[in-house]
Amino acid sequence: MGRSPQQDGGKHRKSTGNKTPFPNGLAQPALRALASAGYDHLEQLAGLPESEVRALHGIGPNAFQKLRDALSTLGLSFTTSKSAATAAVPSTFADLWCEDRGRQGAAFEQILDETSQPVDWANTIWDELLAQLSDKNNRNRSIAAQVLCNLAKSDPSKRMLRDFPALFDVVNDERFVTARHAMQAMWKVGCVGKKHQELLVAALEKRFSDCVSHKNCTLIRYDIIECLRKLFDEVHEESIRTRAKALIDLETDPKYQKKYLALWPKK
């Protein structure tokens, strides 16, 4: 059960590609607090609870007001409380785990569509999705992995940084089709921020080397290089290109090396 990744505009954002700098005059303690929490541009703060931003050490009343005003000029805002940021989970979510393939497939498509942009109910279902990553049903494992990848952008508490190893384990799934579906969605995690990006790229590099004895090694490696290319196209970070090329250089078969390089045409 796979699906081509999509990157739609966020519910709280004008464009997922926007990276507006923090407002001029923001004090250094505030900038350090934001950087320490993994935030490097204004759009990342949209939809966060006010209480969560105020709680950052270094964010005083003046800094908070500057951030709120800057968000407002973009048509964005904080939420007033954690409860206000929690909306009802779609009624079809429970159908993700049902035995009726038709209902399950329809629910999966709907949930992927809804989570292609930030949602307010990620935390409500997060633990259930984590549990499904190790379910005995491989379709459930595949669904849970793909939905969690989509929800990475809807994770203001940054639980993904803690739970990423459990998610990435699915790329080693005993059912290869499940492993591929998980791998093909992983690039979305790296789009969230620098820490997520480094976590993902390091894991992909290790998998590229570790899979050498796998019977589907060339497919795994192709998916890894494609994952890095999708991430690069989204975040435009040159170090990703460099690291992808370094992995391709590890391939000893010229035929497959050429195939991987085709994903990275010359500039």
Give the model confidence (pLDDT) of 153-200 as tens digits: 998 878 899 999 999 999 999 999 999 999 999 999 999 999 999 999
The pLDDT value given to residue 10: 35
Q: Are residues 207 and 256 in the same domain?
A: yes
Give a yes or no: residue 180 inside a domain: no
Q: What is the pLDDT of residue 189?
A: 97
Residue 11 lies in a domain: no
Question: How many Cα atoms sit within 13 Å of 11 on the Cβ side?
Answer: 18
**Is the domain of 101 the same as that of 148?**
yes
| CB contact at 8 A, 165 and 143 | no
Query: How distant is the alpha carbon of residue 206 from its chain centre?
Result: 19
DSSP 49: B
> Are 203 and 162 part of one and the same domain?
no
For residue 79, list its beta bridge partners. 49
Same domain (yes/no): 215, 262: yes
pLDDT of the residue at 13: 36
Residue 34 lies in a domain: yes
pLDDT tens digit sequence for 123-138 = 889 999 999 999 999 9
Residue at 38 is within a domain: yes
- For residue 18, what are the contacts with CB-CB under 8 A and spacing of at least 6? 41, 43, 74
Domain that holds residue 260: 186-267
Tell me which of 172, 194, 224 is where a domain ends.
Answer: 172
In a domain, 8, yes or no: no
How confident is the model at residue 171, as a pLDDT? 97
Burial class of 103 by CB neighbour count within 10 A (0 to 12, 13 to 18, 19+):
middle
Sign of CA dihedral 104, 227, 179, 129: negative
Confidence of residue 57 (pLDDT cuts 50, 70, 90): confident
Flag whether 21 is in a domain: no
Q: Which residue has the higher pLDDT, 80 or 11?
A: 80
d(CA 187, CA 252): 25
Query: Does residue 16 register a pLDDT over 60?
Result: no
Q: Answer whether residue 143 shows pLDDT above 80.
A: yes
Residue range 71-84, pLDDT digits in tens: 988 888 887 654 44
Give the ranges where 42-158 is alpha helix by DSSP (H): 50-54, 61-73, 101-114, 122-132, 138-151
Provide the number of structural domains found in the chain: 3
pLDDT at 15 over 80: no
Judgement on whether residues 130 and 200 belong to the same structural domain of the protein: no
Nearest to 150 by CA among 178, 207, 191, 98: 191
The answer to whether residue 223 scores a pLDDT higher than 70 is yes
CA dihedral 181, 187, 191, 192 (to 10 degrees): 50
d(CA 225, CA 161): 22
210 shares a domain with 166: no
> Whole-angstrom Cα distance, residue 13 to residue 101?
34
DSSP state of 8: P
Residues 104 and 168 placed together within one structural domain of the fold: yes
| pLDDT for 37 | 87
Q: Is residue 244 part of a domain?
A: yes
Say if residue 8's pLDDT is above 80: no
Q: Is the whole model's pTM more than 0.85, yes or no?
A: no
Question: Does residue 153 share a domain with residue 111?
Answer: yes
Q: Does one domain contain both 68 and 99? A: no
Domain boundary among 117, 138, 172: 172
Q: Is the pLDDT of residue 121 over 50?
A: yes
- Which residue among 120, 150, 172 closes a domain? 172
Average confidence score pLDDT of the chain: 88
Give residue 38's pLDDT band: very low, low, confident or very high (50, 70, 90): confident
* Cα dist from 230 to 4, 192, 264, whole Å: 11, 13, 10
Please indicate, yes or no, whether residues 199 and 240 belong to a single structural domain of this protein: yes
Considering the domain boundaries, does residue 20 fall inside one?
Answer: no
Q: What mean pLDDT is predicted for residues 235-250?
A: 96
Asked whether residue 53 falls in the same domain as residue 94, the answer is: no
Q: Identify the residue with better confidence: 87 or 176.
A: 176
- Three-state SS for 191? coil
Q: How does residue 36 score in pLDDT terms, banded at 50, 70 and 90?
A: confident
Residue 55: the pLDDT is 79
Say yes or no to pLDDT of 7 above 60.
no
* Whether residue 190 sits in one domain with residue 167: no
Please give the Cα distance from 256 to 262 (Å, whole number).
10
> Helices H, strands E: what count in the chain?
13, 0
